[in-house]
Structure 1
Amino acid sequence: MFKPRPVEARTPDERDSAESLAQTLPPLVLAAEHLVNAFDMGVHGRRRAGTGEDFWQFKRYGPDDSTTSIDWRQSAKREHVYIRQKEQETAETVWIWRDEARTMAYGSETNGPSKLSRATVLSLALALSLSKSGEKFGLLGQEEKASTGPASFNRLVDRIVKMQTPSLRELTSANRLSNKSTIVLISDFLHELPEITETVRHFVNLGCNGYLLHIADPAEVDLPFQGRTRFLSMAAEDSLTLGRVEAVREEYQSLFEAHRAAIMSLTENVSWDYDFHLTDEAAGNAFARLYEALNIRGATK
């Protein structure tokens, strides 16, 4: 299992990033709370028959149904015999990972969100919604066991600030997960496709379900710049100067779309979910799709 490094053990650049995140985290937590509270937590439940404790519906008795499930009181009120079905009970655990690669710090708009801040808000909103619904969650790559409740959410917030998030490649060392785990990876996925494939396949081989939330800045998709432009690498000290950006725009957009299509194809091949989200869109849209895909139980009253 990946052993996270504390803030003190990080490089100067990593410490600066961690300190910056610590300063901005309180408003991000507040934004996550507003996001969850604005979303109707009560209308989406796991509406499937199963062996849980919560009543779902009465169903007319059929030849394949057990006689022990017959509800005689309800049947006495009706013309036919009915059984009582209960809502399916699941024991899934959701493991959350949000990429902290240097490229995630990018934001093209001065007052707009960076990819990292958007990924953090969505991670916190997901954890909070799982906490409210009584389901287990945890940060992927951390040593703590998954748990639920307000204390677990507060601990997750603390871990985001104090511990370094493992890289995409380091996630392959996480191997103590149950086959009922769901993996949520939130990233700009500006990684080589073989690296993404290796990580996804690792969790598939463990029997995990998964959801890839692909976050991008609009400028990364459209390349809207004009004329002579200097591009500084966020992953290294390199830079690239183009005399006429518009001359390469079409080729760049084709390459970006091909990379996105390849990631989408990967998830389809392993029956994982995939969503693409631009930072100039409402965070609530991405959260709603994530919430629906994970089929989170409505909040307990």
Structure 2
Amino acid sequence: MFKPRPVEARAPDERDSAESLAQTLPPLILAAEHLVNAFDMGVHGRRRAGTGEDFWQFKQYGPDDSTTSIDWRQSAKREHVYIRQKEQETAETVWIWRDDARTMAYGSVREGPSKLSRATVLSLALAMSLSKSGEKFGLLGQDEKASTGPASFNRLVDRIGTMQTPSLQSLTSANRLSNKSTVVLISDFLLELPDISDVIRHFVNLGCNGYLLHIADPAEVDLPFQGRTRFLSMAEEDSLTLGRVEAVREEYQTLFNAHRTAIMSLAENVSWDYTFHRTDEAASIAFAKLYETLNIRGAAK
């Protein structure tokens, strides 16, 4: 699959990509920490009523509420009848998979983020936020148990910096997930739809919930190039030259949007969540959707 990259901006090989990522991890961690701190201060968690033991709030009694939940002491102090709600126990484990295929190294703006760096920041921010809230997480496709806390986050950072991520297709061999797990897949999803569908169906059959975070470079969406342009394949040593790239822009955008819509439909058909994110947008936009959809609680006190 050809990517809209000018010939002078040749993709790095896998070793260069790995070394480059390892060198940039510290600033990416700082960027992730900035995201998490902003949401801890501004959102204070997304708690829900449930069957836990921790008190959450008093709520006015409604026709769908059980009479056994009425708090008679509080009701006696007020004009209406109130129930005592408890915070929902979160028994889920969040498994994170961040694609590091060669296509993820693409970045059309020299000073802007590549798809890989943006995916890494969002993965780190998600893990950091889960760690601070006391919820279990782990890297999908790695031989380790999910856990939480600073040590778990540091282990995740080390694995991201030193180990190659397994391919999306290989995730169909991941069978040790409980049916209360949530799978977060972060990728450009430049794969055939049947391959993506097989992975989603595998986790659905395990009883997992899921979240697809689809990342794209703005040049991949808009194809903004003009005139004669040579495109280099990110995955193979191959190239394609177009005499007037603007002549195929509309057809290209139609195909790109059709692929994006098809991926979204795959998610919606199994009640998974889907977010499309361009790297020229603020990382906080994508993280906000992750934060809210996964119902991450405020940092543990």
Q: TM-score, with normalisation over the residues of structure 2?
A: 0.90
Report Cα offsets for 1:237-281 as digits up to 9, x if no partner. 011111111111111111001000100111111111111111111
Q: Name the residue aligned to 1:150.
A: 150
Contact 2:210/2:272 (<8 A) preserved: yes
Distance in 2 (CA, whole Å) between partners of 1:205 and 1:26 is 38
% identity of equivalent residues: 89
Distance in 2 (CA, whole Å) between partners of 1:61 and 1:230 is 67
Q: Name the residue aligned to 1:8.
A: none
SS at match of 1:225: coil
Q: Name the residue aligned to 1:54.
A: 54
Q: Give 1:16 deviation, angstroms.
A: 2.8
Q: Name the residue aligned to 1:7.
A: none
Contact 2:40/2:299 (<8 A) preserved: no
Distance in 1 (CA, whole Å) between partners of 2:82 and 2:230 is 72
Question: Are 2:84 and 1:84 aligned?
Answer: yes
Contact 1:186/1:215 (<8 A) preserved: yes
Contact 1:44/1:296 (<8 A) preserved: no
Distance in 1 (CA, whole Å) between partners of 2:62 and 2:257 is 51
- What is the one-letter code of the residue matched to 1:21? L
Contact 1:44/1:295 (<8 A) preserved: no
Q: Name the residue aligned to 1:211.
A: 211
Q: Name the residue aligned to 1:4.
A: none
Unaligned runs of 5+ in 2: 1-11
Q: Give 1:80 deviation, angstroms.
A: 6.0
Q: Name the residue aligned to 1:5.
A: none
Q: Name the residue aligned to 1:73.
A: 73
Unaligned runs of 5+ in 1: 1-11
Report Cα offsets for 1:120-158 as digits up to 9, x if no partner. 000000111111111111100011111111111111000
Contact 1:212/1:274 (<8 A) preserved: yes
SS at match of 2:274: strand
Distance in 2 (CA, whole Å) between partners of 1:297 and 1:34 is 17
Distance in 2 (CA, whole Å) between partners of 1:224 and 1:81 is 61
Distance in 2 (CA, whole Å) between partners of 1:286 and 1:73 is 43
The size of the alignment, in residue pairs, is 289
**Aligned alpha-carbon RMSD (Å):** 1.9
Q: Give 1:183 deviation, angstroms.
A: 0.6
- Taking a change above 3 Å as real, the CA distance of residues 235 and 65 of structure 1, as seen in their structure-2 partners, is same
Q: Give 1:61 deviation, angstroms.
A: 5.8
Distance in 2 (CA, whole Å) between partners of 1:79 and 1:225 is 67
